[in-house]
Amino acid sequence: MIVKSILAGTFKLDGGAMFGVVPKRIWGKLIKPDENNLCTWALRCLYIEDGDKKILVDTGMGNKQDEKFFSYYEPAGTRLINKALLEAGIDPQTITDIILSHLHFDHCGGVFLKNEQGEIFTPFTNADIWVHETQWILANNPNFREKASFLKENLSPLSEKIKFIDEIKSPFQNLEFIKVSGHTKGMLLPLVHINKYKRVLFGADLFPSVHHIPLPYIMAYDMQPLVTLTEKTEVLQRLADEQIALFFEHDAEYEIAIINKDDRNRFMVKSSSTLADYLK
């Protein structure tokens, strides 16, 4: 099995929104905001090659929105997932499956892109697109609070290609799925069984960064923060018990971490590294 981290650029989000009830005096020691209180976050995707399956988890923001939209988020770096894959030596047309953790714009926007002529196309012509059915229903019938994250231009092209993952019975031999709903209903966390000794959990927006390991550090974007709190506790306990590596989609500095508990029974980072170093 081959597993690679693929960075589809960075973007900015408000630090206060990313840390919820945690005061800036505390979170500001962890990550430095700019003059507009914006912090830089990664758009980090995961590539998995397992036999004849070439799987991509999430796709970044894409480029279909207008400049006004992007001015709010200040994307930078290699913004398009197809270019990021090519830079990593992976042909997007060889991707067989795309798993979308959920359908917020910064996770699914790269499935379909806009070319120089303004035409919509997908670089993933041979890929099946997977999401949880609960999330698909919600995205197409959003509540007012979450509506701005579910964009029609991302969802409409997906409708003819979408397939649904049942978290109880995985369609992939070496992937299992944890379904969580605090951030958004039906978000999937793929757990990759790399070999007998190493497993990696894609943290999506349950654990957007290493700074979100402490239980109270919950984003203001989460629809049900108390549900998130319960889900974080349960997942972190399994990560610590089984020493599963946690992969961060949005952390601009850290790719993965191993979780332990300290002498006060609090979850903490035992070690952190790049995915490539972890897999050596």
Per residue in 170-200, pLDDT (tens digit) is 999 999 999 999 999 999 999 999 999 999 9
Residue 202 — pLDDT band, cuts 50, 70, 90? very high
Residue 69 has pLDDT above 90, yes or no: yes
Is the CB of residue 258 less than 8 Å from the CB of residue 247? no
pTM of the model: 0.96
Domains of the chain: total = 1
Could you please report the per-residue DSSP string of 105-139?
HHHHTTSSEE-TTS-EE-S-TT-EEEE-HHHHHHH
**156: containing domain:** 2-279
Is the CB of residue 29 less than 8 Å from the CB of residue 21? no
Per residue in 108-123, pLDDT (tens digit) is 999 999 999 999 999 9
Is the CB of residue 207 less than 8 Å from the CB of residue 248? yes
Mean pLDDT of the chain: 96
Question: What tokens were used for 117?
Answer: 């002529």
Residue 222 has pLDDT above 90, yes or no: yes
Q: What is the CATH number of the domain that holds 187?
A: 3.60.15.10
d(CA 179, CA 167): 6
The residue length of the chain stands at 280
Rounded mean pLDDT of 68-89?
94
pLDDT at 79: 82
